[in-house]
Chains A and B, each alone.
Chain A
Amino acid sequence: MAHGETGKIKNPGPFVFHASVKSTLLVLMIVGVATFGGGLMADSKRAWASLVQNHFFFMSLALGGLFIAALNYITSAMWSAPIKRIYESFTSYLPFALLTFLAVAVGIHHIYEWSHPEFVKGDLVLEGKASYLSIGFFVIRNVVALCIWIFFAMKMLKNSVAQDANGDHRLTLKNKAMAPVFLIVFAITYTMASYDQMMSLDPHWFSTIFGVYCFSGLFYSTLALTAVMAIYLRRNGVLQGIVNDNHLHDLGKFMYAFSVFWAYIGFSQFMLIWYANMPEETGYFLHRLHGGWALMTYLLPLKFLVPFFLLLQRDSKRSESRLLGVGLFMLAAHWFDLMWVVQPEFFKEGPQFGWIEIGTTIGFIGLFGTCVVRFMGKHNIVAIGDPRLPEAVFHHHQ
């Protein structure tokens, strides 16, 4: 790979997953719907808790794909061109996030205590928040946010896909112009969605850094999924000669950096509340640090420590199998982190992890996977018309 070496990059075309993958994902979806239905009858509290957790987890993955796309447009990033279509494919799930949000809205009385007027009445704090935490306003503003995200996803994906055919660099500039607008809107709306959908599970509690905490998880998990998918596709031979060890190295650096970022934000949230020790704030950590939730709270730093030490060395960021393992770990770690955010508001006694949680999650994996599989089967797996692709393929630093 000499400097300046260029040449025609062979277009791998769309990636059609094996029929068994598609049917497996379909089965997972059916299992998920059946489990959720059964869960509603057996133990509805657990079913709803699992729904809102998985809704937020997968919505963040889909939105994270759009966030990374916008980030790379605004910075005119070169390295990411070969893997661009991978994180773009996640956004195809966004319309279904709107559906799962509507499911959350249907179960609002089972999920959010503040939705019961008799619970709010007489509670000074909740009465003060009542105009914001009202069912109509809650549903409308979150649906509007999801519609805005879907709008930006459609616009930017349309330009990106159109570029495959004509290679017009002006499409890159169009997306570059749209990216900052989206990023500003994203910062506001995702903070709002975090407050609304996650933080208001405990309507008395508040933490101004909570939106950043959720954002750090969004970035953390989306990077991990991008790496996992890139390695999966590489192993299936479609990205040969396009995604090389340098691109894995860059992804690994990102994953490493945002593990640290998550720890930084998570600890900042904890330390300020612990230090000030004010009764209206400490409740959140009190019942997480004592009783049935203590063990999980003490295990939570592993979400940072494992990627930190496993990805510290340069060679491990360039090792396909190491990166795949850490990527899968990070996805699981973030899922458990969200469980740690959601479940203590439902079950003071400790974590609930059984067939309802597993089945519901499996259903979401099936739905999300089907979206990505369909997207990749329809569009080129590599953004072949991206003007930055040739330079990125012969990416050579370090």
Chain B
Amino acid sequence: MSSGNSNGKSSAAGVIGYFDSPDAILSGMKKVKAANFKNFDAFTPFPVHGLEHAQGLKRSFLPWVTFFGGLTGLTIGMGFQYWTSAVDWPINVGGKPFFSWPAFVPVAYEVTVLLAGLSTVAAMLLVNGLPNLKKRTFSVSLTVDKFAIIIEADRGAQNGKYRPYSENDAIEVLKLAGASGVKAVTDSGWFEN
């Protein structure tokens, strides 16, 4: 989850700290979480089990999107076939009833799966703010063998719930969390190494 950064000038967008192993980023993430910044996120070349717990991410609501997407698909799939075959233009097929539901099941099933899948992907892109054209430079090593935590600058008004962001403070926290390299990153590109 990234905060919007639309002012375009090359101000510091946050601080990034690199880690060398899944274990290092896991224990580091716990410390960053405890520091209570508003916006922080992790980058790993592969899924690190338990990282989402360390980061304090809640369960996604996407399964509900899948469920209702599937339900919509089932209704459309069955309903449309019913309407075409039994209401709008009834055709006698092999002496079977106009509403021969067993014949409609395969199509209804496929539409169920299709809408469940598409709605899930669409909702996922939407909540993640993807596709993202602004922040595009990526350190190659983060897709190979490096792990990183970014603490993002807090642009909104401060409220008392979170630790106020300052660059030096964030660098200090990341160092204490065990990051092997820490540096400030700017808007124009997060990870130009």
Chain A interfacial positions (CB closer than 8 Å to B): 1-4, 267, 270-271, 274-275, 277, 312, 314, 396-397
Per CB-CB distance, the 9 closest pairs between chain A and chain B, nearest first, are A396-B49, A271-B102, A3-B50, A397-B49, A4-B23, A396-B50, A3-B26, A274-B102, A3-B49
CA distance A271 to B105 in the complex (A): 9
- In the complex, what residues of B have CB within 8 A of residue A396's CB? 49-50
The answer to whether B48 has its CB under 8 Å from any CB of chain A is: yes
B79-103 interface code vs A (CB 8 A; 1 in, 0 out): 0000000000000001000000011
Can you list 17 A-B contacts (CB < 8 A)? A1-B50, A2-B27, A2-B50, A3-B22, A3-B26, A3-B50, A4-B22, A267-B102, A267-B105, A271-B102, A271-B105, A274-B102, A275-B102, A312-B67, A396-B49, A396-B50, A397-B49
The answer to whether B181 has its CB under 8 Å from any CB of chain A is: no
- In the complex, what residues of B have CB within 8 A of residue A2's CB? 23, 26-27, 50
Number of A-B residue pairs, CB cutoff 8 Å, is 30
- In the complex, what residues of B have CB within 8 A of residue A277's CB? 94
CA distance A277 to B102 in the complex (A): 13
- Contact B103 A3, beta carbon cutoff 8 Å: no
Give A273 Cβ to nearest chain B Cβ, in Å.
Answer: 10
The answer to whether B63 has its CB under 8 Å from any CB of chain A is: yes
Give A210 Cβ to nearest chain B Cβ, in Å.
Answer: 18
How many residues does chain B have at the interface if contact means C-beta atoms less than 8 Å apart?
15
- Contact B63 A314, beta carbon cutoff 8 Å: yes
Closest B residue by C-beta to A277: B94
Report if A270-B102 is in contact (Cβ < 8 Å); known contacts: A2-B26, A3-B22: yes
CA distance A234 to B102 in the complex (A): 43
Give A257 Cβ to nearest chain B Cβ, in Å.
Answer: 14
- In the complex, what residues of B have CB within 8 A of residue A271's CB? 102-103, 105-106
CA distance A376 to B67 in the complex (A): 41
CA distance A251 to B105 in the complex (A): 28
Give B48 Cβ to nearest chain A Cβ, in Å.
Answer: 7
B34-68 interface code vs A (CB 8 A; 1 in, 0 out): 00000000000000111000000001000100010
CA distance A1 to B106 in the complex (A): 44
CA distance A267 to B109 in the complex (A): 12
Closest A residue by C-beta to B95: A277
CA distance A314 to B61 in the complex (A): 12
- In the complex, what residues of A have CB within 8 A of residue B63's CB? 314
Closest A residue by C-beta to B106: A271
- In the complex, what residues of A have CB within 8 A of residue B23's CB? 2-4
- In the complex, what residues of A have CB within 8 A of residue B48's CB? 3
Closest B residue by C-beta to A312: B67
CA distance A129 to B110 in the complex (A): 38
- In the complex, what residues of A have CB within 8 A of residue B67's CB? 312
CA distance A275 to B27 in the complex (A): 60
Contacts A2-B23, A4-B22 supplied; 17 other A-B pairs, CB < 8 Å: A2-B26, A3-B22, A3-B23, A3-B48, A3-B49, A3-B50, A4-B23, A267-B105, A271-B102, A271-B103, A271-B105, A275-B102, A314-B59, A314-B63, A396-B49, A396-B50, A397-B49
Report if A275-B49 is in contact (Cβ < 8 Å); known contacts: A3-B22, A4-B23: no
Name, among B48, B59, B102, the residue most crowded by chain A CB atoms within 10 Å (CB to CB): B102
CA distance A275 to B106 in the complex (A): 12
CA distance A66 to B59 in the complex (A): 36
- In the complex, what residues of B have CB within 8 A of residue A275's CB? 102-103
CA distance A274 to B106 in the complex (A): 14
CA distance A275 to B104 in the complex (A): 11
CA distance A312 to B105 in the complex (A): 21
Closest B residue by C-beta to A315: B59
- In the complex, what residues of B have CB within 8 A of residue A314's CB? 59, 63
- In the complex, what residues of A have CB within 8 A of residue B102's CB? 267, 270-271, 274-275
CA distance A396 to B54 in the complex (A): 13
CA distance A309 to B26 in the complex (A): 36
- In the complex, what residues of A have CB within 8 A of residue B106's CB? 271
- In the complex, what residues of A have CB within 8 A of residue B49's CB? 3, 396-397
- In the complex, what residues of B have CB within 8 A of residue A270's CB? 102
- In the complex, what residues of B have CB within 8 A of residue A3's CB? 22-23, 26, 48-50
